[in-house]
Amino acid sequence: MRKIIHSVDNSIKVFYLIIDGRKIGFYLSNRLAKTFFMYLRKGVLVDFEISNRKKKIGIYSFYQVAHFNQIISLYPFYVHYDIKQMRLDMKEVLNSYKHYLFIDFEMTMPGYHDRVFRPEIIQVGYVIAEAQGKILHEDGYYIMPKQHQTLSRRTKKFLNLDEEKFFSEAVTYDVFYQKLKKLLKKYQPKLVVWGKNDITAMNDSYQLHEQKPLTDEKQFVDLLKLHKDYYNLRDDLGLFKAYKTYYNVDFDQAHDAKDDALVTKYVFDAFLDTMK
């Protein structure tokens, strides 16, 4: 639907259009309102799709916006949002880097009765590769936690860990830190993760181990967020669900950081193919 906004009700995140002589209201979910509502006002041109859901507020029902295609101010003319241009910009950015570091972490989980808990990275998997190109380096290993000499039953069960094997093979955080430092210096890659959790885990680990940060958030690409923006997904998409969608093949999810890093690379490559 492509129409000019008649009016806006900021209190309930609704904008109104005149359709066939009737004033019809359209509601934005919290996710859409957070991103787009600031651009909506009387006289703005909106191009959008309608969800099959309706939202009742008080005695009135409103059609729910599924996603926007364009939001344009006409006086003065300014394009606030254009999904086609956004996709082109996304493609240009992703193709502008020579090397990518696909990285994934597994973390400790609280015990069943823990009240205060701070997760730690205990496994890392990473793959250095060219965009849609060959893998140049890959590795995966356990990392010794700083705060715990044992792993919770929940952690061992979720990650299918043998505690004795873990503690005999785990390296210190400093080993991981120095390896990562060398990779970043050698390849200067863009870091690709699936979701914000790995970014948060990396940032928290610097503080926990009192190390100077090697990365900042601008160096990361959240591939999950790119999928949500590109395909206008309302809910989060699982990494292995994305893999199956692209390749029509199941990948056995074993909660292994190296496997997850590899799958992230495969999903990234398929995503770039879609953009073409």
Domain architecture of the chain: domains with CATH:
2-82 (2.40.50), 95-275 (3.30.420.10)
- Taking 80 as the threshold, does the pLDDT of residue 60 lie above it? yes
Kindly state the average pLDDT of the residues 251-273: 89
Place of tokens 């004033």: 23
Q: In this structure, which amino acid lies at residue 274?
A: T
- The first and second tokens of residue 121, run together, are 């990275």
* pLDDT band at 113; cut points 50, 70, 90: low
Mean residue pLDDT across the chain? 92
Q: Does residue 114 have a pLDDT over 70?
A: no
Nearest 5°: CA angle at 26, between 25 and 29?
145
| Alpha helix ranges (H) inside 63-110 | 83-94
| CB 220 within 8 Å of CB 192 | yes
Q: How confident is the model at residue 235 (pLDDT cuts 50, 70, 90)?
A: confident
| pLDDT value, residue 105 | 96
Rounded-to-integer distance, Cα 272 and Cα 100, Å: 13
Q: Supply the DSSP symbol for 172.
A: P
Query: What are phi and psi for residue 58, nearest 5 degrees?
Result: 65, -130
Whether the per-residue pLDDT at 66 is higher than 90: the answer is yes
pLDDT band at 249 (very low <50, low <70, confident <90, very high): confident
CA distances from 266 to 184, 192, 250, 259, 271 (A): 21, 12, 13, 11, 9
Asked if residue 249 lies in contact with residue 178, where contact means CB atoms within 8 angstroms, the answer is: no
Tokens of 177: 């830190």
134 phi and psi angles, rounded to 5 deg: -75, 155
Query: In percent, how much of the chain has pLDDT > 90?
Result: 78
Write out the two tokens for 63: 């059609």
Share of the chain above pLDDT 70, in %: 97
Q: Is 150 exposed, middle or buried (0-12, 13-18, 19+ CB in 10 A)?
A: exposed
Separation of first and last alpha carbons in the chain: 26
Least confident piece of the model among 52-61, 74-83, 111-120? 111-120
Assess whether pLDDT exceeds 70 at residue 110: yes
* Position 210 pLDDT exceeds 90: yes
Tell me the average pLDDT across 166-192. 96
Mean pLDDT along residues 50-72: 93
pLDDT band with cut points at 50, 70 and 90 for residue 276: confident
Section 71-90 average pLDDT? 95
